Amino acid sequence: NAGVTQTPKFRVLKTGQSMTLLCAQDMNHEYMYWYRQDPGMGLRLIHYSVGEGTTAKGEVPDGYNVSRLKKQNFLLGLESAAPSQTSVYFCASSYPHGGLNTEAFFGQGTRLTVV
Amino acid sequence: GESVGLHLPTLSVQEGDNSIINCAYSNSASDYFIWYKQESGKGPQFIIDIRSNMDKRQGQRVTVLLNKTVKHLSLQIAATQPGDSAVYFCAENIEETEGNNRLAFGKGNQVVVIP
């Protein structure tokens, strides 16, 4: 049982390049999230999904797109990377229990540097 | 590399003493709260949670207190150990629309345990 797995773990991009971050969970969780973490800023929600085929914007969605084609995968795309997107990205998943949300399980993070 | 704890409020505590970490949340309608621990280079890990119908919950060496009147959450760690050195985040569950829940995180508090 791997939990939440993110790939890649590290990446350096040039400004304007595109890339996709992959998140996979093997816990059959309904909800999945993408956060970014910057020094002193805590975790800010980029996009999230409450089920296969659905996505919603979080606090800081600009410059990112997501897709949830399969329940176990949640992809985060950067179409044209900017230095402001240099950050550590975390994926998480959780499951509703009895109609209530429960704790989110996090991946180990992807450190992205845009130069 | 950059520390997620940079510029965060820091609590220095002597090994063996008790630690108290505080958090103010924003939404009076939030019904679920979680404390996470994040060690350097790792993703956040669940510590303890509490629902809004409770004002106190205890785990192993940790206690969470919820004061809904002033929208305040605290985490108490008993007999703090060196392994407790980390950044601690509180999170609140926010229901955007029916069935769309997201976790909103605070900025974090760094705990440094002095041996």
State the nearest Cα–Cα gap between A79 and chain B, in angstroms.
Answer: 24
Residue count of chain B: 115
- CB nearest A103 (choices: B42, B46, B100): B46
- Give A98's pLDDT tier (boundaries 50, 70, 90): low
Phi, psi (degrees; rounded to nearest 5) at B80: -55, 135
CA A57 to chain centre: 12
- Give B4's pLDDT tier (boundaries 50, 70, 90): very low
Token duo for residue A41: 């800023």
Chain B residue numbers touching A90 (CB-CB < 8 A)? 43-44
Chain B residue numbers touching A41 (CB-CB < 8 A)? 107
Task: Count CA atoms within 13 Å of residue A89 on its CB side.
Answer: 33
* pLDDT score for B107: 86
* pLDDT score for B7: 63
- CB nearest A100 (choices: B32, B102, B107): B32
Closest alpha carbon to A51 in A73, A71, A74, A66: A71
Q: Which residue type, as a one-letter code, is found at position A61?
A: P
State the nearest Cα–Cα gap between A107 and chain B, in angstroms.
Answer: 6
pLDDT in tens, B57-99: 999 999 999 999 999 999 999 999 999 999 999 999 887 776 6
